[in-house]
Amino acid sequence: MKMGFRWFGKEQDSVTLEQIRQIPGMDGVVTSLMDIPVGEVWPLERLKSLKQQVNDHGLQLEVIESVNIHEDIKLGLNTRDKYIQAYIETMDNLAQIGVKVICYNFMPVLDWVRTELAKPLEDGSTTMAYKDEYVYKINPQDLAAHVDEQTHGFDLPGWEPERLKEMSAAIDMYKNVSEQQYWDNIKYFLDSVIPYAEKYDIKLAIHPDDPPWPIFGLPRVITDRENIQKFLNLNNSPYNGLTLCTGSLGANRQNDIPSIIREFGSQGRIHFAHVRNLKFESGRDFYESAHLSRCGSLDIFEIVKAFYDIKFDGYIRPDHGRMIWGEKGRLGYGLYDRALGATYIQGLWEAIDKLHFSTDIAEINL
């Protein structure tokens, strides 16, 4: 595996490349151009400069999050082709700087949803949390305002100010879009861009819906094993694949994450992974815990072992972390807890590898 760390750019992140470089075992960063409006081409010169910044600190830039999908594409409007063309041009530019994977999502209007961004935990840390009842009692625009009040001045991916302002109007546009039409719109996008992904040698890795169930009546489709297989069947190219996010899929208690990793990893369709833990409360409620297995409800050992068993040689990054040790920064994306997560994941991988090697030697000696 190749270990990466999400970084939002010099002007957008409280975490620096100097700090990321000091995390043991860190190969590269996963980044983006946060200020480019959705649907516009990412300029090649900006990308070259970004790559140079990263390389100058001894890190690689091979994974990008997120080249967001314009809402007109998701809605299947007549204007979608111009935005798809812009997407293809961005892919071309990314290929020219050596990018190998693009992580994106097809979630309508909202990306990930949390109802609390700084829930206090018993150990004094704070974390992001989700309460299902709160979502069903509040209207979309009030939720947007509620989230905006908690951001500490940092734009959160998927919750950019321009998107928040138009949330209610955007949701209304989906009232006449059936789930089947939504699947059709995904296929249209894939069939348009995958030939260029193959040409540019960039793998597309869709991120699961977060949380993996409908919000405000909007379609949520990348939610479980059955729907993941349906998605992959829309276009059978190996360049059409997944970002396996353990926290997003793991929020559904019915999802067996290690089994999902083995099934789709063995098909060569997992191109990128976000590894994090969460702690279930009542019903669908949860909060994001430390990565350590005993701190949450997911078995991170079994998850890492599943990646090891499929001989995963792609990109992994620690996902959302708590805010610990008094750190101030982008909620969910501080330095310290994610750095702990990165070293924990690598520690598990090393232990599994050495146990596997010892077993092989023992079998040979027999």
> For the packed helices 300-309 and 257-265, what is the interaxial angle rounded to 10 degrees?
10
Helix (H) or strand (E) run with residue 93 in it? helix 80-96
| Catalytic-role residue among 200, 333, 336, 344 | 333
Q: Using an 8 Å Cβ cutoff, are 132 and 292 in contact?
A: no
Of the candidates 104, 182, 200, 207, the residue annotated as catalytic is 207
d(CA 292, CA 289) in angstroms, rounded, equals 8
The verdict on whether 200 is a catalytic residue reads: no
Give catalytic status of residue 152 as yes or no.
Answer: no
In the residue annotation, 146 being an active-site residue is answered as: no
Distances (CA, A) of 310 to 303, 304, 341, 362: 11, 10, 21, 22
Residue 320 annotated in active site: yes
Distance in angstroms (rounded) separating the CA atoms of residues 329 and 337:
12
Of 83, 87, 245, 336, which residue is the catalytic one? Answer: 245
- Strand residue runs (E) in 109-250: 116-120, 126-130, 203-206, 240-245
Q: Which among 72, 210, 319, 337 is annotated as catalytic?
A: 319
Residues 6+ apart with CB under 8 A from 341: 275, 276, 290, 291, 318, 319, 321
Q: How far is CA 341 from CA 56, 142, 195, in A?
A: 25, 33, 36
* 87 noted as active-site residue: no
Catalytic residue at 274? yes
**For residue 21, which phi and psi values (nearest 5 degrees)?**
-60, -25
* Intra-chain end-to-end CA distance of the chain, in Å: 31
Identified catalytic residue from 13, 104, 320, 337:
320
Which amino acids are annotated catalytic?
207, 245, 274, 319-320, 333
